[in-house]
Structure 1
């Protein structure tokens, strides 16, 4: 009997670790999408080694935002929109609308990125590649154990991207010493780069991807805090490794004075670094980054409306599939609405302070958190992130608004 109990505990621990790792990689791979690849390449061209400082600031904001959000969600046992509605009736609905619109708009770009990835990998037409990729993403949610399948695919894609990015970073021989110096003492600072990178990696739905996945897997309550923290830290570490490796790969190419093709900057970097094989490697990275972002955006966006109706809760997998279909059809027949994507990018940066600010208020409400005491250091750092991102997000939104009417 004791042996049976021991085996049961081991199975539960293995399942729990798989979920924790899956949530970490879901957050990390959702943050590393096609937009991130392009943004990193473009900003490294513009800022060179100084982009290391932008990565540092974005990682610091990432740490404080994610640790707060994951902990508050799992301790309360409520999704982000449910917490927001308890803080102020109707706020959860407003937050859900912002996140679903932002998620849908960015998913058009994610689907397009998947098509471009297959095009670079095997030469398939981008639109056809996007449709094939969407079919793959839909298949995940048709599987009975969709959550487990999503976890495994996120982990596999994450490992593949890390290995390939580190390899390219190694062969380009970047000036690492210069990058380290500029991490703490940058020659130039770009506020726009910071807002764009933060908005794209912890803005919108991405902030909640891991926390909501843990809830769906039954991981919640004060007793789960150590596991939740571990999962969040792994996710942030994976995101950081990917950011740094890609930055160093681009920096290596830029520092040699090689001309990067502005029509497809990320692909150009990999081609310049490793020739035709490098271009194929870019295709693998782009597809892996895009398909995990398609899955993450659809899953997390729909998780924000699941609690609004028993019908949505019952058929949420089919609504996720519909979400992916709408994104794919929009790209196939209309293309990528660039101006809309730009304005939604700025809105995504504003979602973070709204969402995090709401959750920090909830962290001190007994009717939401029970007897749990939220650490003072997390509250202070969380408030700082809210203030900084509110200011920077508004400034960026004001800059981007005119583009919507061009």
Structure 2
């Protein structure tokens, strides 16, 4: 009887651990695949063609190093990122929290706007109504006592749905796959501006911390779990990378066929045009469903992750109090969207610059912990390869952050 109970408990533990890892993988992946990412990918594929494959590859490599470091340090220290920063450099956690929460709020306005556009393309619903309905769906999820369960199932289901639908469009578009693979590894044109933009939009801000904080909430922490955490981070990057690349190939197929896609006007929607060119009205409906799924999961991911950064201001916050704060966060995002009627471009640009600083600031602190603060990680010996690759990515992201600030000043002048 004892052996049977022990075997049953072991199976339950393994099952719960697998579920926790999968939920973190898809929260990170779906947070990284939002409306902004879809639009950016379409725009750069139109302008750069097959050569944009290299930009996607570069973003995946940078993403891998960032996520491996952040997931590892959060798991080993058993603290949220803002608390880790405060424990390392006094008051830096407050700065990091303010940057993440502000950037998350502004980009959540864009997520709600994207959800409205998605439902408009899918069923013809007015974008404001579509945005409001999507925001209230997210509010309903966070108001439930089973919010954690709903979030996990929604992220996994919608993540797989987006990949499946995009694959369907890819096969219909018949992209030049051989040329795309060649240009990915040996690009004829390297555009650093596109790499900076795609990294900022898919790695920067709250996105870097989404999966790691989900694992922390699921109690998947400590040295004993580090190999599973590291493996989950790698799988998360693979999921994100697959989605990025198949979206790129789907749009590339349309571009390579000679279809002209308008990217010159502010109102242009290059991804919508590409999907419609590939499959007609069916393509437009598929685009609407993908955009809505990407936006809704990003609303949830942005709200959830941003509110994990309020612990420096209220260390004793309960799970229920954080759910209430998350609901308020979504309501504020929705109210601003409804008042302004669309995602406020100037605020999005401004927040983009802030997010350009969030990544290098947080990553620098985490690399310092891996280098000098083994005491915060139960004496864990940090891998040298991860430290050195982290140093390199830190330098790259600080440069990207500086370029983001330059973009802000040029835009606001």
Q: Aligned equivalents of 1:145 and 1:214: distance in 2? A: 17
CA distance in 2, matches of 1:248, 1:211: 29
2:288 aligned residue (277, 283, 288): 283
Determine the structure 1 residue equivalent to 2:344: 337
Q: What's the counterpart of residue 131 of structure 1?
A: 132
Are the counterparts in 2 of residues 137 and 291 from structure 1 also a CA contact under 8 Å?
A: yes
> Equivalent of 1:403, from 389, 402, 411?
411
Asked if 2 retains the 8 angstrom alpha-carbon contact of 1:306 and 1:313, the reply is no
Matched, 1:243 2:244: yes
Aligned residues: 405
Q: TM-score by structure 1 length? A: 0.97
Instruction: Report the CA distance between 1:310 and its aligned residue.
Output: 4.7
Shift of 1:146: 1.4
Helix, strand or coil: the match of 1:308?
coil
Q: Determine the structure 2 residue equivalent to 1:347.
A: 354
Residues of 2 paired with 1:121 and 1:234: CA distance? Answer: 31
* Aligned counterparts, 1:21-60, within 5 A: 21-60=22-61
**Separation in structure 2 between the aligned mates of residue 366 and residue 376 of structure 1, nearest angstrom:** 13
Whole-angstrom distance in 2 between the partners of 1:372 and 1:310? 26
1:153-200 Cα shifts (integer Å, max 9, x gaps): 100010000001111111111111111111122121111111111111
Gaps of 5+ in 1: none
Shift of 1:369: 1.6
For residues 261 and 281 of structure 1, the distance between their equivalents in structure 2, rounded to whole angstroms, comes to: 19
1:301 equivalent to 2:301? Answer: no
Aligned to 2:324: 318
Q: Which residues in structure 2 correspond to 1:3-402 (within 5 Å)?
A: 3-262=4-263, 263-310=268-315, 312-313=317-318, 315-334=321-340, 335-363=342-370, 364-402=372-410
CA distance in 1, matches of 2:239, 2:412: 34
Structure 2-normalised TM-score? 0.96
Distance across 2 between alignment mates of 1:307 and 1:155:
30
After TM superposition, give the deviation of residue 14 of structure 1 in Å: 1.2
CA distance in 2, matches of 1:94, 1:396: 18
2:147 and 2:13 mapped to 1: Cα distance?
19
How far apart are residue 43 of structure 1 and its match? Answer: 0.4
| C-alpha distance in structure 1 between counterparts of 2:250 and 2:197, whole Å | 20
Q: What is the DSSP-based 3-state SS (H/G/I as helix, E as strand, rest coil) of the residue aligned with 2:247?
A: helix
Deviations 1:205-244 (A, max 9, x none): 1111001000011111001111101211121011001000
Paired with 2:269 and 2:322, the residues of 1 have a C-alpha distance of 36
1:307 and 1:20 mapped to 2: Cα distance?
A: 26
Equivalent position SS for 1:304: helix
Query: 1:196, 1:345 within 8 Å by CA — same for their partners in 2?
Result: no
Equivalent residues of 1:312, 1:319 under 8 A apart = no
Distance in 1 (alpha carbons) for counterparts of 2:6 and 2:145: 27
Shift of 1:204: 0.6
Q: Check whether the contact 1:28–1:238 (CA below 8 A) recurs between aligned residues.
A: yes
